[in-house]
Structure 1
Amino acid sequence: MLICHCNIITEKEIEETIIRLLDQDRWQLIVPAKVYHAMNKRGRCCSCFPNVVETIIRVTEDYHTRSVTSGADIVSHLDRVRTLRDQYGRKAHERRTASHRAA
């Protein structure tokens, strides 16, 4: 599936990059900018970043589930990532409140 239309990046390419980053350091915080930098790309319109974040979470969960890690470490790390995503990513859209109307 095509994730980034601006750079023509597929979901498989993003998943491979995330796994490569996790192989280097399995507990690093991976964000879309780090994934794009590892691929020698950059976000242009950045509308793909929410999908990239979801892919990062899914691949990270799968990676740690397959590895020999205690379940408590996985849960606490991913809960922190989800909390940051909820805090900074989904509640505000372009810093507008839900009651904001253009007309």
Structure 2
Amino acid sequence: MLVCHCNIITQKEIEDTIIGLLDEDCWQLIVPAKVYHALQKRGRCCGCFPNVVETIIKVTEEYHLRHDPNDSDVISFMDRVRSLRQQYGSIQHERRNKGHRAA
């Protein structure tokens, strides 16, 4: 699935990059800019960043569960990240008004 239309980046490329970053240091903070830098791309319109954040959360959780399935701290931490994302991330989705139209 195509995630970034500006740079033609697929979901698989983003997931592979996140896993590569986690292999380097499994507790580093991964943000969309770091993923794009690793892909040697840059955000243009940045409309895909909310989806990239969701992918980062999902892949990081799966990565840690694969490597230590008994670690309940990872689950509670990822749940807190999700709740903050829902609390603050949905106020202004992509910084666009609901009535925003391209044409």
**TM-score, normalization by structure 1:** 0.81
Identity rate, percent: 68
| Residue 37 to residue 84, structure 1, CA distance change in 2 (3 Å) | farther
Question: Aligned residue for 2:37?
Answer: 37
Counterpart residue type for residue 72 of structure 2: A
Q: Which amino acid aligns with 2:41?
A: K
Matches within 5 A, 1:1-103: 1-68=1-68, 70-93=70-93, 94=95
Gaps (5+ residues) in structure 2?
A: none
Give per-residue Cα distances to partners, 1:41-87, cap 9 Å, x unaligned. Answer: 10000111111111111111110110026422212331342244234
**Aligned positions, number:** 99
Structure 1 unaligned blocks of 5 or more: none
- SS of the equivalent of 2:35 reads helix
Output the CA distance in 2 between the equivalents of 1:84 and 1:40.
29
| CA RMSD in angstroms, aligned pairs only | 2.2
Structure 1 moving runs of 4+ over 4 Å: none
- The amino acid that maps onto 1:64 is H
